[in-house]
Structure 1
């Protein structure tokens, strides 16, 4: 089994898992994996639960479509992460309910929209920036992500949803799940007094487990 074949199979398997558990509905969301000679990307207008490994889109390292079905219209989101985060091996963009809800709230801190509520969001997701609203498919979104210069592994697209990168597809999916669960907790706790982790506690986690 080639590395690309294995990546296609894993991508279809994990995307179906996300879809079956409600992290993506309809044809929303897109996922990609970086290979040594290009990028695999979920096709446009296909549910994440229905990916055919053989028909997953392939782009070369410059972003040109070279095989499989037509890729998502939001290829620039993925390319922006790969170009600014050399260690990124996968990118997951979802319209998951709670993270998308958080992206619609007017009083969320755009500099740190997922505060350190639990140790695992610090360890798996890190600081999350809010990207100003742009229409779906607008390449400007990629420019806004590039402007962050790779400092963040995850962002929230305002009124749209999360985009999360990881060293590999499994870690990116786990991080996207952790972000979604933390967003759910944050909304459930709104109006309550919350004990966030202190800067010292966050620092200890980062020194022990590293930064994202």
Structure 2
């Protein structure tokens, strides 16, 4: 099995796992990952994470020209924007996960620091999550908004739409996405109950100990 073939299989394996656990549904969500030659492997437009075919994933060459497979997701502008502004990005996951979407619609949602600092792992794996305004799905303006962050965030939340996470590789991007959705669920579960979260000192120690990107 070639490295590219194995990567195709892993994309579909992770996609099926995300679907089976309800983190996305229907034909929503998309994944992209850097290939060994510097191109991209991308989930196709209109496809379901439940039934992805490894052989039909969209393949881009190093110049990001579509060279094989089905047509890519219409959300390519947001994927390209992350790769263009974050040289360390090896994979990107975008889902329509219910808890994070619900949290994005709350009137008091913090646009600069979307997730409440309740547990350590969202801090460690995501840093600060930027809440962006609503854009129509596929709108190139999503890419413009991400470029406007100049690579300072590893994750953004698209209001009324869904989270987008960049990671150094496919595993890291998926794990960080799972952490984002779990943190959003926890925030909703404890909403209005006055939970005791992490202190500023706790967060500072995490940032320093685990070398977290922490945009001031």
TM-score scaled by length of structure 1: 0.97
2:109 is the counterpart of 1:108: yes
Give the whole-Å Cα distance in 1 for the aligned partners of 2:161 and 2:38. Answer: 30
Give the whole-Å Cα distance in 1 for the aligned partners of 2:61 and 2:196. Answer: 46
Match of 1:18?
18
Give the whole-Å Cα distance in 1 for the aligned partners of 2:146 and 2:25. Answer: 24
2:8 is the counterpart of 1:8: yes
Q: Per-residue deviation at 1:203?
A: 1.4
- Per-residue CA deviations over 1:178-205 (Å, capped at 9, x if unaligned) read 1001000101111111222122211111
2:164 is the counterpart of 1:163: yes
Q: Is the 8 A contact 1:115 1:127 kept in 2?
A: no
Structure 1: any 5+ residue segments left out of the alignment? none
Match of 1:74?
75
Give the whole-Å Cα distance in 2 for the aligned partners of 1:203 and 1:156. Answer: 23
2:198 is the counterpart of 1:203: no
Give the whole-Å Cα distance in 1 for the aligned partners of 2:166 and 2:56. Answer: 23
Q: Is the 8 A contact 1:42 1:71 kept in 2?
A: yes
2:148 is the counterpart of 1:141: no
Runs of 4+ in 1 over 4 A off after TM superposition: none
SS of the equivalent of 1:120 reads: helix
Q: Is the 8 A contact 1:103 1:159 kept in 2?
A: yes
Aligned length: 212
Match of 2:132?
131
Q: Per-residue deviation at 1:64?
A: 2.5
Give the whole-Å Cα distance in 2 for the aligned partners of 1:65 and 1:163. Answer: 22
Give the whole-Å Cα distance in 2 for the aligned partners of 1:37 and 1:178. Answer: 27
